[in-house]
C-alpha cells in the first residue's frame, strides 16, 4: 500500500466520493487538488496538471478568474443570501433570468432556478407532469430518455439516466421512465447500415415505442445534444431532425439537457443550435457559473407558464422550490460569467480552436489501441479496443481505460475514464492552440504506456 499523506488519510475516513470504487479507494486514496490557474491545477505535492476535463465538464473559464472572484466578493458584501419564496426576490435573480431568456435556443417566457443539473432535470420531470395535469391530460406522464444518456442522480433524474451503475441496487428507474436507443453509430449500427439508415431506424424505434406505450401516455423526450458521461456520443447528421419529427407528431415535450453542451462547448452558445434541435425547454448548469458557485436553471415556455398559472389559481400556490433557488451569490457569479462569454467572444474562440482540437482527437484513432475517436467543438473522446477490425472490446476487469487515465496523470494531464474503455476530453474553453497540442502530446505518451502494458499482459487475447 502506498504511504498516504495526512490529508489523504483524513479524507478516506470522512468523505464519501461519488463515482468511486469505495473499497479500492481505501488503499489508493485521493488526489488532493490545492489550487488552480488558467487551464492548470496543482496537487498538494506541487505537481502541475492540465485539467483536461474542466473539472467535471464545467470550469469553462478555467481557474482563478479574477472577475468571477470579484463578482462573488461584491455580492457577499452586499447581501450574501436572500430567498425568492412567497414573492420575495433580489435584483440578481431577474438580471440573470433576463440574460438567459435572451440567449435561450427557444422562446423562453420565464426561468426556474435551482442548484444543480440533477435538480434541473428533476424539475423538468415534475413540470411535465404538472403541465399535463393542467391540460387535463392526466395519463400523459411517461418520459422517454435514451440508453447511455446522463441526466443526473436524484431519484427522478437518475431514472432518466440510462447507465446501469446509476440504477443497480438503487431500485431505479422508477415507473414511467423509458429508454430508447443510443445514437452511437460506431457501436450500434447494423452491418452495412449507413448513417442515414441508422438514424431512420432509431427514429422508427422511438415511434414504435410511443405507439406501443400509447401516445396518450407519453409526455416528453429528454436528450443531451452530445451525450457526456455516457461516452461523448455525437449523433450522426440528421438524427435529431428525425427524432424531433416523431416528438412533434405525438405531442411530446422536447427537453434539451444542455448541462454539458451549453455555453459554447460545441462551438455555438447551445448544443441545440449545433444540432438543429428546437426544444420546448432547456436545462442548464455547470458552465452557467463556470462552476465557481453551484447554480442551474430550467427555461419555461409561455404554454408551460400559463399552465403553472392555472395550477396556482386552483391550488393556491406553486408548491415547488429550493432554499437556494436563485441564490444571490450564485446568480451574481453566473451573470458575470455570461458577460465574460460575450465580451471575450468565447463562442468565436472555441470555433477558432476547435479545428486543432478535433484534428488531434482524430489523429488518436491512428494509435493501435484506439478503435474510434470523436470530437465536436471542445469536447471529444477515444474508445479503446482489443481488436480494431472487429471492434472487440477489452474485458472490463482488465481496466485498460483506467490505466490510460492514470498514465495521463503521471504525464501531467487529467482526463476521465468512462464505461467501455472510453477516455473523455473537455478542457476549459479558454485553452489556446499551443495548450491543445501540449494536452494531446501528453495523452499520446499515456497511450503508448498503456499499449506497453496491454502487450506485456497479453490483454488482446480473445
pLDDT tens string for the chain (462 positions)? 456 778 899 999 999 999 999 999 999 999 999 999 999 999 999 999 999 999 999 999 999 999 999 999 999 999 999 999 999 999 999 999 999 999 999 999 999 999 999 999 999 999 999 999 999 999 999 999 999 999 999 999 999 999 999 999 999 999 999 999 999 999 999 999 999 999 999 999 999 999 999 999 999 999 999 999 999 999 999 999 999 999 999 999 999 999 999 999 999 999 999 999 999 999 999 999 999 999 999 999 999 999 999 999 999 999 999 999 999 999 999 999 999 999 999 999 999 999 999 999 999 999 999 999 999 999 999 999 999 999 999 999 999 999 999 999 999 999 999 999 999 999 999 999 999 999 999 999 999 999 999 999 999 987
At which of 283, 308, 343 does a domain end?
A: 343
**248 part of a folded domain:** yes
Q: Structural domain of residue 86, as residue ranges? A: 68-343
| d(C-alpha 327, C-alpha 319), whole Å | 18
C-beta of residue 252 within 8 angstroms of C-beta of residue 220 = yes
Task: Please report, for the domain that includes residue 111, its CATH number.
Answer: 3.40.640.10
C-beta of residue 248 within 8 angstroms of C-beta of residue 221 = no
Q: Are both 293 and 400 inside the same structural domain?
A: no
**183 part of a folded domain:** yes
Q: What is the pLDDT of residue 409?
A: 98
**191 part of a folded domain:** yes
At which of 283, 311, 343 does a domain end?
A: 343
**43 part of a folded domain:** yes
At which of 319, 343, 367 does a domain end?
A: 343
Q: What is the pLDDT of residue 6?
A: 87
H-type alpha helices, 79-177: 91-103, 117-134, 155-160
Q: Are both 38 and 95 inside the same structural domain?
A: no
Cα 127 to Cα 26, 102, 319, 433, distances in angstroms: 41, 22, 11, 42
Q: Are both 121 and 266 inside the same structural domain?
A: yes
- Look up residue 188 and give its three cell numbers: 450500434
| d(C-alpha 75, C-alpha 246), whole Å | 46
- Look up residue 237 and give its three cell numbers: 447528421
Q: Are both 107 and 203 inside the same structural domain?
A: yes
| d(C-alpha 67, C-alpha 340), whole Å | 9
Q: Are both 228 and 187 inside the same structural domain?
A: yes
DSSP class of residue 165?
G
Cα 139 to Cα 142, 164, 214, 451, distances in angstroms: 8, 28, 10, 54
Here the contacts of 454-460 (C-beta below 8 Å, separation 24 or greater) are 454/369, 454/394, 454/400, 457/398, 459/386, 459/394, 459/395, 459/398, 459/400, 460/386, 460/387, 460/394
Task: Please report, for the domain that includes residue 48, its CATH number.
Answer: 3.90.1150.10
Angle at 28 between CA 25 and CA 31, to 5 degrees: 95
**4 part of a folded domain:** no
Q: Are both 339 and 349 inside the same structural domain?
A: no
Is the pTM value of this prediction over 0.75?
Answer: yes
Q: Are both 274 and 385 inside the same structural domain?
A: no
Q: Are both 222 and 267 inside the same structural domain?
A: yes
Q: What is the pLDDT of residue 5?
A: 74
**2 part of a folded domain:** no
**274 part of a folded domain:** yes
Q: What is the pLDDT of residue 224?
A: 98
Q: Are both 281 and 362 inside the same structural domain?
A: no
Q: How many structural domains does the chain have? A: 2
Residue with cell 496538471: 49
Q: Are both 47 and 73 inside the same structural domain?
A: no
One DSSP character per residue, 383-399 reads: EE-SBTTTTBPPPGGG-
Q: Are both 334 and 354 inside the same structural domain?
A: no
Q: Are both 285 and 424 inside the same structural domain?
A: no
Q: Which residues contact 342 (CB under 8 A, 6 or more apart)?
A: none
**21 part of a folded domain:** no
C-beta of residue 422 within 8 angstroms of C-beta of residue 381 = yes
CB atoms within 10 A of CB 94: 14
Amino acid at each position: 500500500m502506498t504511504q498516504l499523506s495526512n490529508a489523504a488519510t483524513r479524507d478516506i475516513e470522512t468523505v464519501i466520493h461519488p463515482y468511486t470504487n469505495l473499497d479500492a479507494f481505501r488503499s489508493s486514496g485521493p488526489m488532493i487538488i490545492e489550487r488552480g490557474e488558467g487551464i492548470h491545477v496543482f496537487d498538494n505535492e506541487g505537481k502541475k496538471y492540465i485539467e483536461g476535463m474542466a473539472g467535471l465538464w464545467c470550469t469553462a473559464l478555467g481557474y482563478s478568474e479574477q472577475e468571477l472572484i470579484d463578482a462573488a466578493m461584491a455580492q457577499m458584501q452586499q447581501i450574501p443570501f436572500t430567498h425568492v419564496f412567497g414573492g420575495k426576490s433580489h435584483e440578481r435573480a431577474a438580471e440573470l433570468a433576463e440574460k438567459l431568456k435572451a440567449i435561450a435556443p427557444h422562446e423562453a417566457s420565464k426561468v426556474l432556478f435551482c442548484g444543480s443539473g440533477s435538480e434541473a432535470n428533476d424539475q423538468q420531470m415534475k413540470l411535465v407532469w404538472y403541465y399535463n395535469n393542467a391540460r387535463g391530460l392526466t395519463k400523459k406522464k411517461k418520459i422517454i430518455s435514451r440508453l447511455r444518456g446522463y441526466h443526473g442522480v436524484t431519484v427522478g433524474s437518475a431514472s432518466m439516466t440510462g447507465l446501469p451503475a446509476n440504477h443497480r441496487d438503487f431500485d431505479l428507474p422508477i415507473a414511467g421512465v423509458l429508454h430508447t436507443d443510443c445514437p452511437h453509430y460506431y457501436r450500434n449500427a447494423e452491418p452495412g447500415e449507413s448513417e442515414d439508415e441508422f438514424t431512420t431506424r432509431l427514429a422508427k424505434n422511438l415511434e414504435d415505442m410511443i405507439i406501443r406505450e400509447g401516445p396518450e401516455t407519453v409526455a416528453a423526450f429528454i436528450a443531451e445534444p452530445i451525450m457526456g458521461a455516457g461516452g461523448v456520443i455525437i449523433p450522426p447528421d440528421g438524427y435529431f431532425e428525425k427524432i424531433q419529427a416523431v416528438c412533434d407528431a405525438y405531442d411530446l415535450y422536447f427537453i434539451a439537457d444542455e448541462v454539458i453542451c451549453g455555453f459554447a462547448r460545441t462551438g455555438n452558445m447551445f448544443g441545440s443550435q449545433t444540432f438543429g434541435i428546437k426544444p420546448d425547454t432547456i436545462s442548464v448548469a455547470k458552465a452557467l457559473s463556470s462552476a465557481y458557485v453551484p447554480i442551474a436553471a430550467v427555461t419555461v415556455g409561455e404554454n408551460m407558464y400559463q399552465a403553472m398559472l392555472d395550477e396556482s389559481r386552483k391550488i393556491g400556490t406553486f408548491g415547488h422550490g429550493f432554499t437556494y433557488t436563485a441564490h444571490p451569490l450564485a446568480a451574481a457569479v453566473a451573470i458575470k460569467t455570461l458577460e465574460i462569454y460575450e465580451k471575450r467572444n468565447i463562442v468565436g474562440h472555441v470555433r477558432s480552436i476547435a479545428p486543432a482540437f478535433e484534428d488531434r482527437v482524430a489523429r488518436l484513432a491512428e494509435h493501435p489501441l484506439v478503435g474510434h475517436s470523436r470530437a465536436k467543438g471542445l469536447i471529444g473522446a477515444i474508445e479503446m479496443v482489443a481488436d480494431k477490425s472487429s471492434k472487440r472490446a477489452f474485458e472490463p476487469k482488465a481496466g485498460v481505460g483506467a490505466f490510460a487515465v492514470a498514465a495521463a496523470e503521471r504525464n501531467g494531464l487529467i482526463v476521465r475514464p468512462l464505461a467501455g474503455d472510453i477516455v473523455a476530453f473537455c478542457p476549459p474553453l479558454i485553452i489556446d492552440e499551443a495548450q491543445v497540442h501540449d494536452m494531446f502530446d501528453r495523452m499520446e505518451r499515456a497511450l503508448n504506456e498503456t499499449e506497453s502494458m496491454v502487450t506485456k499482459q497479453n490483454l488482446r487475447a480473445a
